[in-house]
Structure 1
Amino acid sequence: MAARAEGVYVFDADGRAYLDAVGGSFVVSIGHGVREVTDAMMEQARQVSFPYVGDFTTEAELELARQVLSMAPPGMAKVFAVSGGSEANEVAIKLARKYQLARGRSSRWRIVGRWQSYHGATLGAMSASGHSKRRSDFQPYLLDFPHIGPPYCYRCPWHLEYPSCRLACADDLEVAINRHGADSIAAFICEPIGGAADGAVVPPKEYFGRIREICDHYDILLITDEVITGFGRTGANFAVDHFGVVPDLITCGKGLGSGYAPIGAVVIHDKVVSTLESTHGSLFTGYTYSGHPIACAAGTAVLQYVKRHGLVERARREEPWLRELIGRMESHPTVGDIRGKGFLIGIELVADEQSKRPFPVDAQFGKKVVKHAWDLGMVMRSESGTVGGVAGDHLLLAPPLVTSRDDLTKMCSILDQALTAAEHEVSLGS
């Protein structure tokens, strides 16, 4: 049981400290127990705790929008605040439909997703997700959304090599559009840098340029899901910034509130805003707690803290040092690939390094590593289904952006020990 948390540590009821090496669940960016945030929430609660967003706007909501837009790519014009990442993706899907309706294209409703992706537990977001294990129980409820292959160079779905592959992974979007008919496609949604489902896969640098070209050619919207990667996690304001393209809709959550309040948002490009406004369409497609002023106050305080302490720049600056430290894990026979950007790191686990053969499902090797890390006083994540949504494991690290070098060194030391212990458990250790 968690009794309290401070900085980058969570303390249980017995007083034992756990290094939070995954930010709760890719959420905590500025650390636990920051007074500026809790004070801002209390002050907002004293002023106005809740007016319904359909009736009133609050200064807290407007200020959050200003803060988000100040970090967003050029051309982004509006922010719609919701209660979390899944809701943000649901709203983005609805806005894509509204955009196409405003252009007189009522047949366009499908959202193209990507295999090895995850956009949330609600049914629209899950329909767009390509996380096979999380989809399987709910398949009868899911919408008929197409999916394309991921930009997963370590295990290329086309068995090609970059750069001679000529970005077959990006061109797969055009294949899917033509297969289903462009007149049925409203948008393409993807994570610019992978999250839980694929273990922080980073696409080739030209990937998003080609994706943007395809979306523009067929007049479909590009939605980037930055629920995990937004607000500095990868060493940029948004992960899509690494690739030099501007999406039409950005969804965000997690790091926006850093765990202090449940909040997410959709950041909307002027192209979408002006199209809807010119046809008297409404951007409103929200929920009871959309734009909740206390949550918005928390989000504003978090983003101000990020800016004031230079945390985006810190994640970018510390990345080479951290990658060198994490890179030492390559000496382990079970480490197949280390990837990610900034303070988001994925480690793919393999039973055989040369053949890249994954562990069988029932081995649960990733969970063994996580359990040993827990016993050593560190919280981290593992996910299964890395290979084709069924077999394979990867580990995920996403420490708060304020984590010191001493604690990052401790994180890597515990990871090293946990890998060794798990390898001995399956008789792979030396």
Structure 2
Amino acid sequence: MGVEAEQAGARRPAQASSPGMGAWRFVVCFGTVSLLADFVYEGARAVTGPLLASLGASALIVGAVTGAGEAAALGLRLISGPLADRTRRFWGLTIAGYALTVITVPVLGLVGVLWAACALVIAERVGKAVRSPAKDTLLSHATAATGRGRGFAVHEAMDQVGALIGPLVVAGVLALTGDYAPALGVLAVPGLAVLGLLVWLRARVPDPGAYEREVAPAVGRPSDGRLPGAFWTYAAFTAATTAGFATFGVLSFHLVERGLLAAAWVPVLYAAAMAVDALAALATGWAYDRVGARVLVVLPLLAAAVPALAFTSTRTLAVLGSLVWGAAMGIQESTLRATVADLVPTGRRATAYGVFAGVVGAASLAGGALTGALYAYSIPVLIAVVAAIQAAALALLAVAGTRRR
């Protein structure tokens, strides 16, 4: 389907278009796509550092390349989001982004030159930037019928299943063969499944906007081109709570340096945190559909609790803090996306997702630097500063609720 067909589908009246499957089935199929894609790229990311090191990379190069990749994954959405809204090629950008990821990962295991491997690592992250705003927009249409919170929560939970399986499979193949080529080559299988499922899903549901028009016909009306004021207030809330959010890198550093956990157990703890991530997404997603954005009040509370628990000298409390971190991540990656879909009209939704990702990326960088610096200076000061930032985030959330009403 070309851009003309997609644009025509976006303009088609509700009675002239009906989805080719139920909304929940669409969400689950899209969740399966994300599960398989996470299988691929999370499997690769689990060994990116050692792989680059085996090709002669220094710690500086590994840090610079992975940092550049994450910056590209978030920052480039400021371009891909508006591009999706302008061209209306949501399916095209989604498939192109996934294709770039699932092609680069198996090839990464075959290259024997450092510069080529570095380029592929960054290209994989560019693929995520290309697809994410368009993908979230497609998904947002179906969640209008399933419930915003529940739809995004189920998608996030399935996503995390892939994030658990991928690194385990790669680790197993690497342990058996001792070679990165077969360890990453095996990821071509779920990669092909991603593309096949996407092509089939596009053929079945060429116009997911029909889901939203069926439950709310007025969404097809054009907007004035500006993002709503409430969106910007929620973005400020998200920036505040993210800027005061400790990264797992700092948490794991504390656990190992204080002798609370052996380095070999850190991936296990991370996997447990991802399981909590999925459960928290499901719980808050269901709650969001009942009480609305008020459920987000738990996010600053969890973020404030993370350093108070994780940076202690007691193993049980430190592990609990890491699990609380996983719960906060689950809310960030599911319920916040549902809120954006409710705040922004369809014509500007991909742009909103791109801007939102840019805000989260900048705040994440600030939060990682802040918590790392304060950890080295004074843990009590770190706990107090994070608590103050989260209190400010709660105030912004209250303002956002008022503006929305």
Q: What is the TM-score when the length of structure 2 is the normalising length? A: 0.31
In proportion to residue count, which structure has more helix? Answer: 2
Q: Highest relative contact order (Cα 8 Å, sep 6+), 1 or 2?
A: 2
In proportion to residue count, which structure has more strand? Answer: 1
